[in-house]
Amino acid sequence: MNGLRASRSVLPSLSKIIIPLNMPTAAATRKRKQKELFPHKVTSVTEIIPGVYDFQIERQFDFIPGQVVAVAISHDDEPRLYSIASATTDSRMRLLFDINPRGLLTPKLPLMTPGDTLLVSIPFGRFTATHDAAWWIATGTGIAPFISMALSGYHMDKQLLHGARTPAEFYFADLFKEKLEERYLRFATVENSPEIQKGRLTTYLRTLEELPLDIKYYLCGNANMVVEVRDILIEKKVPFANIVSEIYF
């Protein structure tokens, strides 16, 4: 998965969405370019595991957990969208991303140092937290908005399904183990451990005979996972209106 470029999606059938999910529409591109960007000072750049970064900047605006910001290094660049991964009370704003070698922004971000200037928009988006019961479902760095939600006190009555390749890729696992306890379920496709189930989270979902039908399901991660989970939920009679998605591609 490359940099966290996110969009809230109402997903049609799989056959109709493969191209749109992997290519932003002209309207979406124009919308990003229209966002006014403000200079923010970089405060820290930390490599969590090879190629994955905890990137923090000074915080200038309030936000609702789950929202995104448009980011660029120069006003000539096309902004990219990143989910906020920090608490609403933090003085800094955290962005979580992995490197896309062919990307226009993520290869440059790790080269920045504290004191450098990054251009950032006012937070926006509708993939936002509530205190109602819900399931959170994420893969890889798609965990970012749920980090913000958990740190900001929206973890009650939530269950989190988190998929990754290896145990090292369960970012901020200690936070979720503390906040969610047995309601934090991890699924690794390459390695496992006593606390981590082997296999894909979609396989787990298919084994469940019933799912709660009166709660929201928040899906965040790569497009293929989001589409597959969406289809599984619909097959299990979850109302389409109860499925909220954020695509990372």
- C-alpha 222/C-alpha 186 separation (Å) is 16
Query: Which of 65-74, 151-160, 194-203 has the lowest average pLDDT?
Result: 194-203
Assign 247 a pLDDT band (cuts: 50, 70, 90). confident
41 and 152, same domain (yes or no): no
Q: Identify the three-state secondary structure at position 111.
A: helix
From 121, 151, 166, the end of a domain falls on 121
Q: What is the CATH number of the domain that holds 214?
A: 3.40.50.80
pTM of the model: 0.86
- C-alpha 71/C-alpha 32 separation (Å) is 9
Q: What are the residues whose beta carbons fall under 8 Å from the beta carbon of 224, sequence distance 6 or more?
A: none
Q: What is the mean pLDDT of residues 142-150?
A: 97
- Who wins on pLDDT, 132 or 194? 132
188 and 101, same domain (yes or no): no
Give the chain's mean pLDDT: 88
Assign 90 a pLDDT band (cuts: 50, 70, 90). very high
200 and 93, same domain (yes or no): no
Q: Provide the 10 A C-beta neighbour count for residue 103.
A: 16
How many helices (H) does the chain have, and how many strands (E)?
A: 6, 13
- C-alpha 72/C-alpha 197 separation (Å) is 38
With a cut of 50, say whether residue 12 has pLDDT above it: no
188 and 88, same domain (yes or no): no
% of the chain with per-residue pLDDT over 70: 85
Q: How many domains are contained in the chain?
A: 2
107 and 135, same domain (yes or no): no
Q: Which amino acid is at 168?
A: A
106 and 158, same domain (yes or no): no
Q: So what's the pLDDT on residue 16?
A: 34
Q: What is the CATH number of the domain that holds 82?
A: 2.40.30.10
Q: What is the pLDDT of residues 223-233, one digit of tens each?
A: 999 999 999 99
Whole-number Cα distances in Å, 166 to 21, 149, 169, 171, 200? 25, 24, 6, 11, 11
132 and 237, same domain (yes or no): yes
175 and 227, same domain (yes or no): yes
- C-alpha 143/C-alpha 221 separation (Å) is 7
Question: Is there a domain that residue 3 lies in?
Answer: no
Q: What are the residues whose beta carbons fall under 8 Å from the beta carbon of 41, sequence distance 6 or more?
A: 57, 58, 114, 115, 116, 117, 118
**Tokens in use for 248?**
């990372």
- Domain containing 65 equals 16-121
Q: What is the pLDDT of residues 15-48, one digit of tens each?
A: 333 333 333 444 444 454 578 999 999 999 999 9
Q: So what's the pLDDT on residue 248?
A: 67
Q: What is the mean pLDDT of residues 104-122?
A: 96
210 and 183, same domain (yes or no): yes
98 and 193, same domain (yes or no): no
Q: So what's the pLDDT on residue 84?
A: 97
Question: Is there a domain that residue 6 lies in?
Answer: no
CA dihedral 96, 101, 106, 109 (to 10 degrees): 110
Is residue 150 within 8 Å of residue 171, measured between CB atoms? no
Q: What is the mean pLDDT of residues 61-71?
A: 97
- C-alpha 22/C-alpha 224 separation (Å) is 10
